[in-house]
């Protein structure tokens, strides 16, 4: 497969108006990605799927990352797609797209029409991060219950005080349950008492 700089150049020429930038992932991953503007993410994805040089026929992973605002930068949620070509045995090409954290603006185009594997994974990103995927055929919660109103993978999420804590041997979790007035099963209360006696 071509170097990432060449891939960016080819994609930018193929999708007029697309703003594409090479960004590095975490040092541990050492995997550069293509950051694409929201208006052109679908077109860029379609190009990588259909162009015979790439034939990215499989999307293995869709995830999201929450970046709260800093003093000098507004916050955003980044959606990440890992694309592979089974036909050509190459990849990944990592595409990223960013949306504002504000819930009414936190939306990106769905890529489910391109890769069926995106359907459940985009639902998960919606459920846990609040990203709305425009054009998704069935955007609803997949892990949390329908009446749940928050997004638990956002970094500012606070668990409710009436959370029913599971039994656990970890003292700090049990202590937190007591401090926040959580409802604990009898076995968890017994665990806490045993921990105090040590």
pLDDT tens by residue, 116-135: 999 999 999 999 999 999 99
* CA-based nearest residue to 141, from 157, 163, 122: 122
Find out whether 11 and 42 touch, Cβ atoms under 8 Å.
Answer: no
- Is pLDDT above 80 for 36? yes
Give the least confident one: 27-36, 64-73, 109-118.
Answer: 27-36
- Residue 37 domain boundaries: 4-155
Residues 49 and 147 placed together within one structural domain of the fold: yes
The CATH number assigned to the domain holding 41 equals 3.30.460.80
Q: Which of 12-26, 35-49, 60-74 has the highest mean pLDDT?
A: 35-49
Q: In whole angstroms, what is the distance from residue 196 CA to residue 95 CA?
A: 50
- Is pLDDT above 70 for 139? yes
Q: In whole angstroms, what is the distance from residue 56 CA to residue 13 CA?
A: 18
Residues 144 and 186 placed together within one structural domain of the fold: no
Residues 96 and 181 placed together within one structural domain of the fold: no
In tens, the pLDDT along 63-100 reads 999 999 998 899 999 999 999 999 999 999 999 999 99
Query: What is the DSSP pairing of strand 32-36 with strand 90-100?
Result: parallel
**44 pLDDT band (50/70/90 cuts)?**
very high
> Which H or E run includes 109?
strand 107-109
Question: What is the reported pLDDT for 173?
Answer: 65
> Could you tell me the two tokens for 123?
């639902």
> Could you tell me the two tokens for 133?
């995927």
Radius of gyration from C-alpha coordinates of the chain: 21
Residues 124 and 69 placed together within one structural domain of the fold: yes
Length of the chain equals 198
Residues 63 and 144 placed together within one structural domain of the fold: yes
Give the pTM: 0.81
For all residues of the chain together, what is the average pLDDT?
Answer: 88
> Could you tell me the two tokens for 162?
């009436």
């Amino acid at each position: 497969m071509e170097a990432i700089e060449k891939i960016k150049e080819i994609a930018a020429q193929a999708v007029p108006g697309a703003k594409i930038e090479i960004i590095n992932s975490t040092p541990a991953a050492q995997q550069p990605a293509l950051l694409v503007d929201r208006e052109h993410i679908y077109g860029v994805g379609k190009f990588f799927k259909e162009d015979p040089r790439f034939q990215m026929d499989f999307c293995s992973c869709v995830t999201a990352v929450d970046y709260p605002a800093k003093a000098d930068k507004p916050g955003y949620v980044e959606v990440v797609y890992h694309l592979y070509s089974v036909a050509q045995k190459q990849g990944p090409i990592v595409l990223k797209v960013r949306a504002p954290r504000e819930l009414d603006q936190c939306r990106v185009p769905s890529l489910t029409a391109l890769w069926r594997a995106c359907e459940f994974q985009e639902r998960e990103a919606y459920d846990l991060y609040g990203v709305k995927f425009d054009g998704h055929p069935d955007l609803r919660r997949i892990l949390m219950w329908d009446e749940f109103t928050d997004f638990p993978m956002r970094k500012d999420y606070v668990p409710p005080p009436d959370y029913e804590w599971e039994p656990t041997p970890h003292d700090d979790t049990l202590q937190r349950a007591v401090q926040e007035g959580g409802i604990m099963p009898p076995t968890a209360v017994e665990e806490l008492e045993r921990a105090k006696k040590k």
